[in-house]
Amino acid sequence: MSEQKKLSIPYPIIVEGKYDRLRLLSVCDATILTTDGFGIFKKQEKLTLLRKLSEKTPLIVLTDSDGAGKVIRSHLTSGVPADRLIQLYIPQIAGKEKRKAQASAEGTLGVEGMERELLRKLLSPYENGGAIRRAEENPLSKTDLYTDGLCGGSDSVARRDALCQKLELPRGMSANALLAALKLLVSYEEYCEIVGRKNRK
């Protein structure tokens, strides 16, 4: 079977390391920038570059779904306006990258260990900017999450984790991070169906 044509992604993509970058380059043509893992904490000039880039174009953030990836993602969000970042997430899949002697502390695969088809599926909506337009038009709000018990309740964390598992998102997402992801991933109608309530625009 012939190889699939690479996706053409117009937005820069931020990943953690060079092996993540190489993996993405096998499925898409894009400007892919690395944080050098935690190196971005020591290199203020790199964060400054990303902030300047974000003035011209949205940036896609695709870090690993482990604790370290969350810390790096949080650091990026504190240094670059949140509305200029497209937060994408890989699912938490148990395993170990082939090149590594042992699994990560949490025993899950990073971006470099993801199947190419999964990465294609994740990135394909961004070929023409359609996903961003849909997110901007999506009326889903924090009020919806509150109404459905996904924030503000004693069991909201467990409810968010259950929804994340259903959508193949990493567990432990904050309400704001989940809202941003949902606006990109599903329509308002699809959201209502997933949480089991009638559409209440």
Shared-domain flag, residues 53 and 82: yes
Angstrom distances, CA of residue 91 to CA of 103, 111, 139, 153: 16, 10, 25, 25
pLDDT along the chain (201 residues), means of 10: 78 94 94 92 86 90 92 93 91 81 77 94 82 78 95 95 87 86 87 80 49
Shared-domain flag, residues 123 and 186: no
Shared-domain flag, residues 2 and 32: yes
Domain that holds residue 180: 139-201
Shared-domain flag, residues 85 and 160: no
**CA pair distance 160, 158, nearest whole angstrom:** 5
Q: pLDDT at position 129, please?
A: 66
Q: pLDDT at position 108, please?
A: 86
Shared-domain flag, residues 4 and 101: yes
Shared-domain flag, residues 19 and 115: yes
Shared-domain flag, residues 46 and 84: yes
Shared-domain flag, residues 112 and 36: yes
Q: pLDDT at position 75, please?
A: 93
Strands 13-15 and 85-87: unpaired
Angstrom distances, CA of residue 193 to CA of 1, 57, 175: 37, 33, 19
Q: How many domains does the chain have?
A: 2
Shared-domain flag, residues 24 and 60: yes
In 66-148, where does DSSP find H-type helix?
A: 67-79, 116-123, 130-137, 142-147
Shared-domain flag, residues 110 and 148: no
**CA pair distance 168, 108, nearest whole angstrom:** 14
Shared-domain flag, residues 52 and 117: yes
CB under 8 A, 24+ apart: contacts of 188-191 = 188/138, 188/139, 188/140, 191/140, 191/144
**CA pair distance 129, 95, nearest whole angstrom:** 32
On whether the pTM is more than 0.85, the answer is: no
From 81, 105, 137, the end of a domain falls on: 137
> What φ, ψ does residue 28 adopt, rounded to 5°?
-150, 155
Six token digits for residue 197: 């309530």
**CA pair distance 64, 111, nearest whole angstrom:** 6
From 95, 119, 137, the end of a domain falls on: 137
Q: pLDDT at position 1, please?
A: 41
